[in-house]
Amino acid sequence: MLIADNTVVAIDYTLRNDEGEVLDSSEGVQPLVYLHGAANIIPGLEQALVGKKVGDALSVIVEPEQAYGEYITELVATLSRSMFEGVEELQVGMQFHASAPDGGMQIVTIRDIEGDDVTVDGNHPLAGQRLSFEVEVKDVREASAEEIEHGHAHGEGGHQH
């Protein structure tokens, strides 16, 4: 079976940045399982997997616009420590839900703390980066009607949510 929309795909992968540093990998753990065509993985990787089958191995370079987007400096802001009411100790790397400019919700990460000034960043940590994937297709199957309706793959025995 070939990878196409509405198939459930299992892949082993290693993700590296331009410097060759491993950012993420399925090595030593279960393969990544996703519903193809449901935007469960970044667009550039999903597009590269179309038409592949079990056993296929490929190297994929994904540019920022097909991954986590370009880095947007307007998503970086300096806030007062008082905006984090109820949090005893702030640390660089902590993440919080915040109101996005469009009125929705976004995740922001603390990038710097200087006195009462807390710098947060609403960009994805991999925004602006070219990503390099080594991928091996481990399994491809038809998605169930329930998986298609829910927009994601389910584990053995049905959905886990």
What 3-state DSSP class applies to 140? strand
Q: Which two tokens stand for residue 128?
A: 């602006």
- Segment 1-23, tens digit of pLDDT: 999 999 999 999 999 999 999 99
- Segment 96-128, tens digit of pLDDT: 998 877 788 889 999 999 999 999 999 999 999
The HSE-up count of residue 134 (CA atoms within 13 Å, CB side) is 11
> Would you place residue 73 in the very low, low, confident or very high pLDDT band (cuts 50, 70, 90)?
very high
Q: Which two tokens stand for residue 43?
A: 């667009």
Those residues whose C-beta lies under 8 Å from the C-beta of residue 74, and which sit 6 or more positions away, are 101
In this prediction, residues 63-78 reach a mean pLDDT of: 96
**What are the structural domains of the chain?**
7-68+126-150 (3.10.50.40), 73-121 (2.40.10.330)
